[in-house]
Amino acid sequence: MLAQQKQDITALFQAALAPIIADTGVSANVVLERPRDPSHGDVACNIAMQLAKQLKMNPRELATRVVDALRADPAAAGLVESVDIAGPGFINLRVTAAAKQAVVKAVLAQGANYGNSASGSGQRVIIEFVSANPTGPLHVGHGRQAALGDALSSLFGSQGYDVTREFYYNDAGVQIQTLANSVQARLRGHKPGDAAWPESAYNGDYITDIAADFLAKKTVSASDGSPATASGDIEDIESIRAFAVTYLRNEQDIDLQAFGVKFDNYYLESSLYQDGKVDAAVDMLNKSGKTYEEEGALWLRTEDYGDDKNRVMRKTDGTYTYFVPDVAYHIVKFQRGYNQAINVQGSDHHGTIARVRAGLQAVGLGIPQGFPDYVLHKMVTVMKGGEEVKISKRAGSYVTVRDLIEWSGGGDITKGRDAVRFFLISRKADTEFVFDVDVALKTSDENPVYYVQYAHARICRMLEQWSGDEASLANVDLAPLTAPTEATLLATLAAYPETLARAQAELGPHQIAFYLRDLAANLHSFYFAERVLVDDEALKAARIALMVATRQVLRNGLALIGVSAPNKM
């Protein structure tokens, strides 16, 4: 059902219950559900069983009174076809064919806005994802974050939220120094395997590329920040560090552009130290009384907030543990005015959740207990030619996002991006995923993104053969849409707005991919069961309108997850 129809049916139940519960002090919370067995009807409600005890009535007797009132209500005309009682007091309701068909005109009228809502209006949400260390190319795990985070951002945007996409750069710490040392070792002529090659160094070919450009005194720029010009001096470790970080940030920018992902803001970990945000956070925690000194280290009483043990904040050498700047960063997010913060990260970050939230509670700024939310994803295994791929020449130790896009497109970047994006959100984030490049290259039903895109292209071909004016469909009579496959398509189209609302509330963009596969399957089933361009003009017009509506919803859903909707395959 459409949202308005659901609201209208809820209002019918409330009107039917009003005289029954008047002056009793009992309130009715009407919840409509879809029956597990479609033969029972379109809507089920157990309100009679919920209220019977409070009203001291037999559930079936109460259900009978409600049903009689529903049948007698003039407002039910054109919406409710029949209403019955099942079992001890379940109320099952069927909506009229006209009500089910109304979704077509709703889609035609709303177009690209169908499925959108204003439920999040006035709410600001910041979604942080990818946040890769600038020490190498983006790997497939970052790709899964990018697909999840970007789809989640679009999903929140579709529900009226003011969304900020943010990339947090861990540009401070040991890994950055390791990067600089790796490039310097290359500059001195060493390579992996040499006795003088640092044990912890990065081994990918990209280190050689950075070293060559450094010697050439090139200038590189990232999407934000100042350009970095190499000094060319192999002893100038600070110039090497600055050049290498900017070089790799630019490389990551290129990867993200190929993936079709854009960020609204980039935040540097180093700025938290430079701006005194880390020291300020530690000061607030000290003043809260939730810290203590022991064996030369500073500890936070995270056990008070549900953690399994207290955690070290400042080590004996005076440096902070990694969760401390995370606390400072999330204080900044809260102070920037976001109602909700969502972090899309690998499952290896699970251990940080309790301590970061504990730190945010301890500072006493009124930060909500569940701030921030987390979407943690599990690892991706890449298969190619029937074998697992573990090493990329480009990266030296892992498969990169760029590798995956190039492999999956067979030379077509758009095709590769579509496959990678669709595949990487097609499972719940907390499940491990096997990405089979061979499947991504197939032009058959085995390839889920091809299957969905082909449904869109199939409709485009039908409409091209029709060659009519789509504007003429606005007032079409939809009554001829009575075939079983048509009824299934209508119901699936009507479920789209509710699917988006649920996916947003549950932080589950995978539900969009599930929905699109179902919609495509129902379209293909209709195509093989019925003809569109029939001689009966009324039936043809109704079916064409149904096809245009289905094409629109396929486009809307694919756009949300950043996948193209080709007219031809």
Residue 324 lies in a domain: no
Residue 313 lies in a domain: no
Question: Both 258 and 204 in a single domain?
Answer: yes
List the CATH number of the domain containing 40: 3.30.1360.70
Q: Let me know: does 365 contact 334? Beta carbons within 8 Å.
A: yes
Q: What tokens does 468 get?
A: 């009519």
Question: Both 9 and 66 in a single domain?
Answer: yes
Task: Taking residues 6-33, report their average pLDDT.
Answer: 94
Q: Is the pLDDT of residue 393 over 70?
A: no
pLDDT of amino acid 487: 95
Q: Which of 425, 440, 455 is the last residue of a domain?
A: 440
Single-letter residue type at 408: S
pLDDT of amino acid 203: 87
Question: Both 149 and 266 in a single domain?
Answer: yes
Question: Both 23 and 134 in a single domain?
Answer: no
Question: Both 80 and 187 in a single domain?
Answer: no
CA 419 to chain centre: 16
Q: Which candidate, 335, 331, 337, 336, places its Cα nearest to that of 122?
A: 337
**What is the C-alpha separation between 215 and 212, in angstroms, rounded?**
5
Residue 391 lies in a domain: yes
pLDDT of amino acid 351: 86
Residue 115 lies in a domain: no
pLDDT tens, position by position, 111-143: 999 999 999 999 999 999 999 888 888 999 999
Confidence band of 8 (pLDDT split at 50, 70, 90): very high
Task: Taking residues 24-29, report their average pLDDT.
Answer: 92
List the CATH number of the domain containing 472: 1.10.730.10
Domains identified in the chain, total number: 3
Question: Both 155 and 204 in a single domain?
Answer: yes
Question: Both 424 and 471 in a single domain?
Answer: no
Question: Both 141 and 231 in a single domain?
Answer: yes
Indicate the range of 128-137, 237-246, 365-374 predicted with least confidence.
128-137
Confidence band of 411 (pLDDT split at 50, 70, 90): confident
Residue 293 lies in a domain: no
pLDDT tens, position by position, 183-194: 999 999 999 989
Q: Let me know: does 13 contact 66? Beta carbons within 8 Å.
A: yes
Question: Both 431 and 456 in a single domain?
Answer: no
Residue 364 lies in a domain: no
Task: Taking residues 191-203, report their average pLDDT.
Answer: 91
Question: Both 427 and 451 in a single domain?
Answer: no
User: Does residue 372 have a cis bond before it (omega within 30 degrees)?
Assistant: yes
Residues 6+ apart with CB under 8 A from 392: 137, 204, 398, 399, 400, 403
Question: Both 140 and 158 in a single domain?
Answer: yes
pLDDT tens, position by position, 469-527: 999 999 999 999 999 999 999 999 999 999 999 999 999 999 999 999 999 999 999 99
User: To which residue do tokens 């720029």 refer?
Assistant: 221
Residue 117 lies in a domain: no
Confidence band of 394 (pLDDT split at 50, 70, 90): low
Residue 365 lies in a domain: no
Question: Both 430 and 451 in a single domain?
Answer: no
List the CATH number of the domain containing 149: 3.40.50.620
Q: Is the pLDDT of residue 212 over 90?
A: yes
Range(s) of the domain holding residue 53: 3-95
